[in-house]
């Protein structure tokens, strides 16, 4: 498995965004997984942004042979760093009913118990409010079937 970044061109207006991939992208796009995009929705007009991709070693050989300056081979750590910057963890509701009960109680001015406080604590594992999964290129590949994972990722 190889992880790499490819620079794409974006043309963004207030209502839409179009992507322009390198000319050779059509040869490989069916066997490459794009796992994270850089995104700057406030940047209107034409500009370049990166995306982290994953492919098998044979596909990588085809891509590398293009010798395109828009491509950068990444280590797993570098791919995770970019993915985590572009897709940061966020708070998310894991048990809507529990959250609603706690919020309702707090809105009525009632004191919350320690258990109820855990429901809205993103750092606690109690169902209620938690964090989204941390971006991890290895986990993403495993979730997609694991057939891309090879020994060099363990290094």
pLDDT, tens only, 145-154: 654 444 334 3
Question: Mean of the per-residue pLDDT values for the chain?
Answer: 85
Distance CA 82, CA 11 (A): 21
Question: In this model, does residue 60 exceed pLDDT 90?
Answer: yes
| Number of other residues whose CB lies within 10 A of the CB of residue 97 | 10
pLDDT at 152: 36
Enumerate the H helices of the chain as residue ranges: 57-64, 76-86, 96-107, 114-119, 137-143
The structural domains of the chain, with segments of one domain joined by +, span: 2-89+133-154, 91-131
DSSP 109: T
pLDDT digits (tens, 9 = 90+) for 1-48: 899 999 999 888 888 888 889 999 999 989 999 999 887 777 777 888
Query: Which pTM was predicted?
Result: 0.71
- What pLDDT does 146 receive? 53
Q: What pLDDT shows up at residue 155?
A: 35
């Amino acid at each position: 498995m190889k992880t790499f970044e490819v620079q794409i061109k974006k043309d963004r207006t207030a209502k839409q965004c179009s992507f322009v991939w390198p000319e050779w992208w059509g040869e490989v796009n069916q066997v490459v997984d794009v796992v994270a995009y850089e995104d700057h929705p406030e940047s209107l007009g034409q500009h370049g942004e990166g995306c982290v991709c994953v492919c098998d070693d044979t596909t990588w050989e085809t891509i590398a042979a293009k010798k395109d300056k828009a491509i950068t081979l990444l280590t797993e750590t570098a791919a995770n760093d970019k993915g985590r910057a572009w897709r940061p963890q966020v708070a998310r509701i894991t048990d809507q009913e529990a959250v609603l009960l706690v919020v309702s109680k707090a809105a009525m001015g009632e004191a919350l118990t320690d258990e109820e406080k855990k429901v809205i604590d993103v750092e606690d594992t109690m169902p209620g409010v938690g964090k989204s999964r941390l971006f991890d290129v290895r986990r993403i590949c495993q979730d997609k079937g694991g057939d891309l994972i090879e020994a060099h990722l363990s290094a």
